[in-house]
A and B are shown apart, each in its own frame.
Chain A
Amino acid sequence: MSELPFSPPDYTGHPLLDVGLATLTAFAGKTRPTQLTGEDLENAARYIRENYIVDPLKSFLNVAFPNSGFTNPAFEKQPEKRRRYAEIVSGAFAAPAGEERDPLTGLPATALALNPDGNMPPGRTYRQHVPLLTGVDVINFHPYGEAGIPLSGISLLAFQMLPMGCAKVSGKLLAVHSDDPNLLLAFAKTFLTANLQGVTAARAGGEKKLPDTSPHRARTVLIEHLFEAEKARGRQQEENGGLPPTLTGYYFTNSGQGAELDIYPLPLEVGGFLRAVLHNDLLKPEWEALAARGWQLTRKEGETPRYNRLFEDLFTLPEGAPRFIRLYFLRKPSRQTADKQDPTLTYDTRREVDLISWRLTELFLRKVMLMEDSRVQSIRELGDALAQYILDRNDRGVFNNFWMARNYGELRAVLLRASAAEVRAGRKPLITLDQFLAIFEQSEGVPNADWRLGRDLVLIRLLEQLYQKGWLQAHAGELPETAPEEETL
């Protein structure tokens, strides 16, 4: 078989269908669903027929297709029915089309009844065919009380391949969707490869269960693999402009015990920031150093951390940008966690000053916070001016007071004091009124941005400068301890 009676659909925007289409594409070794041939679909269908009805995939598929012909316990003693079900749902793409249309692709829905007994309405799919739909006969959420959704054979096949293109994480599936077809395919391919290897390993070891794709939590897995996928992109692609990568994780189970779904959207701003970091030879090692300190603390040697806090907190952006900056770029320890293994509890600005990077922070301000250039420049200039003032006068008081300021008044006082001293010495003031307003009074439409954000940003530049010039190392013992992360405004 090579000729199809229809043109294979391109990506649709429906996350689970698109991941299924990407998995079919990866399975065929192609780059786009539109390139799929009848032979490619038949190969995928054969894999389903041969592997979905036996362990480890049979037990694994309970998470995606409970009570389907693949998993139905009633079919244990009726293997013929199980095989028949696999043949129907995998081969529907080659079956005659019915009158209804598939709302996801616009193709005609299949005319097949999608169960071995043939007593279901033709082409209608339910929870056992597509994760998170309602069951057979349930009329809620469907127009005119007609239960189920009509699907074309290729959509049905794509949904059946979906679990193979997901990461298996703690008993649930992680499907990663992106509007960037290369990224979408990269995730599906990575997870497909891992799952195919997992099937082989489980069989070789006599295991009934498919091993987890990763020991890490879903959001951490998503970011880890984003980095891997981005490595494969050429610098030229990065510089071509166009869409920043959209990325959304759908972490779900369709289990009969309780369907669940968590959606993890990575905003465009964050995708653009990460892409820029990973394609910059200067910034990449700085980011990787932060990432290395983001892993969950382990209780004993050899234990595998479950999450990377830095990666997980990327999903709090851009709303959580002030806190993110304080924790990761300024290295202030967190005090808002009950998790004793949270690595941010151990952060320490003085000990980790080598991790502070204005360059990385500046990119974050531009890409994630969309900060205006003039404000970024004002922050950098104040940081530089303060650093020079402290170096020239060896003024630990100004440094300590700026670092430890507990309220806006204290902050203003220390800047006025230093500025006045400069003027008395016949030099220009450290900061102008416009700069002061730009740094401490403006925000980017991000909630919770207040004077502390401006102070933290100036501190990042100041600390970096003082470290580079050796002043911090020379005064390490005399400097006050880092205050914990401040959350209240």
Chain B
Amino acid sequence: MRALKIVAEGLTASFRYPHFMMGVQPTFEMPPPATLYGHVASALGEWFDPQGVRFAVRFEFRRKQADVETTYLLTPANGKMPGDKSLPKALEGNPNPFQREILYFPRLTLYLNRPEWLEAFRHPRYAVCLGRSQDLFTYRRVEVVELQPAEQVVLEHTLLPYEYAAYTAAGQAVLMPRWLDYHRRRYPAFERYIVLHRRVRTREFTRYTGQPALEPWWADPAEPPLDGEYPGVVWLSWV
């Protein structure tokens, strides 16, 4: 199948857990699908209907460290602006130090089943970033590739459907924001995934009686083979 492949690099990225807002902001070690949706929409220049759009992701970073970041916690305010009493004050805020985890030297490989979006990624509508607005990225490669069906693949540094936990017996199960519904006041949908950094070979997946079958694998022959097999592309969806 033909797929759009985007390889992007940056200096930093941080994908905070949405449920922890105070004092400390740990990062997921993989961009959540909702973040990737925003990234794609940013390149296209508009929200897009996620129905039927599928994506796969590989994401690496060199190191994770915490840094202290100043966040201004904003609250609604009344009265006038100090120094210019003719202006109403709408907001006020105080600086708050936060411990934020940051991933350094991130590298994203994103596959989309939308080869027709090639030009949009060659000329992205908005600044290319991933995570926070200051986490700027550069597209190193934007191309259409021909993925091949494969009997076996190698998986690493990737996000997998939660069902894969029973097959890989590796990685971490993480609840992530899957999608924000912008037509319903950004109502969030969450889903469990497996974050897999290490290398696993599908030929060594665990099997037991009654285990449901997985979707057939696709391989990217444009990538160098690992342990004799090509890196796998495991499709996910936002809806």
Contacts and interface: CB of A to CB of B under 8 A. Distances in A.
Given A143-B185, A268-B173, A269-B170, A14 B19 contact: yes
Interface in B1-59: 18-24, 26
Given A138-B74, A267-B171, A268-B169, A258 B188 contact: no
Contact of B73 (A140, A246, A267, A318): A140
B26 A263 contact: yes
B20 A242 contact: no
Nearest to A257: B23
Contacts of A139: 74-76, 91
Interface stretch (A127-135, A192-200, A401-409): A127-135
Interface in A72-129: 101, 103-104, 127
The listed residue with most B CB atoms (<10 A of its CB), out of A12, A147, A261, is A261
B169 A134 contact: no
A241 interface: yes
A445 B156 contact: yes
Nearest to B19: A14
Interface stretch (B115-123, B133-141, B197-205): B197-205
Nearest to A272: B169
B183 to A, nearest CB: 13
A370 B20 contact: no
Interface string B188-215: 1011101000111000101011010000
A246 B26 contact: no
B interface residue count range (under 10 / 10 to 19 / 20 to 34 / 35 or more): 35 or more
B175 A13 contact: yes
A267 B192 CA distance: 15
Contact of A134 (B22, B99, B172, B187): B22
B186 interface: yes
Given A139-B74, A143-B186, A241-B206, A132 B22 contact: yes
A446 B198 contact: yes
A261 B198 contact: no
Interface in A260-290: 260-261, 263, 265, 267-269, 272
A308 B41 CA distance: 48
B168 interface: yes
Contacts of A132: 19-24
A241 B75 contact: no
Nearest to A180: B173
A83 to B, nearest CB: 27
B23 A259 contact: yes
Nearest to B177: A103
A179 B162 CA distance: 10
A243 B166 contact: yes
Nearest to B209: A241
B165 interface: yes
A253 to B, nearest CB: 9
Contacts of A104: 190
Contacts of A133: 19, 21-22
Nearest to B211: A241
A430 to B, nearest CB: 27
A484 interface: no
A265 to B, nearest CB: 5
Nearest to B190: A13
B71 interface: yes
A441 to B, nearest CB: 13
Given A370-B198, A372-B204, A244 B19 contact: no
Interface in A265-322: 265, 267-269, 272, 318
Nearest to A13: B175
A260 B23 CA distance: 6
Contacts of B74: 138-140
A478 interface: no
A134 B198 contact: no
Contacts of B23: 132, 258-261
Contact of A445 (B172, B192, B199, B208): B199
Contacts of A246: 165, 172-173
Interface string B70-82: 0111111000000
A135 B73 CA distance: 9
A132 B17 CA distance: 11
A302 B77 CA distance: 58
Nearest to A244: B169
Contacts of A272: 169
Contact of A254 (B22, B175, B199, B209): B22
Contact of A268 (B18, B20, B21, B165): B165
B21 A141 contact: yes
A22 interface: no
Contacts of B173: 179, 246, 268
A248 B76 CA distance: 37
A444 interface: yes
Interface string B148-192: 000000001000000001101111110100001000011110111
A137 interface: yes
Contacts of A240: 208
Contacts of B165: 179, 243-244, 246, 268
A367 interface: yes
B169 A138 contact: no
A267 B99 CA distance: 24
B38 to A, nearest CB: 13
The listed residue with most B CB atoms (<10 A of its CB), out of A132, A133, A446, is A132
Q: State the 9 A-B residue pairs at the shortest beta-carbon distance, nearest first.
A: A259-B23, A241-B208, A445-B199, A13-B175, A143-B186, A137-B75, A246-B173, A259-B22, A132-B20
Interface of B: 18-24, 26, 71-76, 91, 99, 156, 165-166, 168-173, 175, 180, 185-188, 190-192, 194, 198-200, 204, 206, 208-209, 211
Interface of A: 12-16, 101, 103-104, 127, 132-135, 137-141, 143-144, 147, 179, 240-244, 246, 248, 254, 258-261, 263, 265, 267-269, 272, 318, 367, 370, 372, 444-446
5 contacts: A132-B24, A144-B185, A254-B22, A265-B172, A444-B199
Given A15-B19, A370-B170, 15 more contacts: A14-B175, A133-B19, A141-B21, A144-B186, A240-B208, A241-B209, A241-B211, A259-B23, A261-B20, A261-B23, A265-B172, A267-B170, A268-B173, A370-B200, A445-B199
